[in-house]
Amino acid sequence: MGITGLHHITIVAANAQRAIDFYTQVLGLRLVKLTV
């Protein structure tokens, strides 16, 4: 059985916007919630 979805991920990064850009623009994931 293959992976059919991803529930959530948490990212801690020095440059938050760069990480968001990578996950949304390169990997095509959708940002659901941003907590500061």
- The confidence score (pLDDT) of residue 19 equals 93
User: What do you get for the CA distance between the two ends of the chain, in Å?
Assistant: 36
Is residue 31 within 8 Å of 25, Cβ to Cβ?
no
Is residue 20 within 8 Å of 31, Cβ to Cβ?
yes
pLDDT band (50, 70, 90) for residue 10: confident
pLDDT, tens digit (0-9, with 9 covering 90-100), for 12-25: 899 999 999 999 99
Is pLDDT of 34 > 90? no
Is residue 30 within 8 Å of 18, Cβ to Cβ?
no
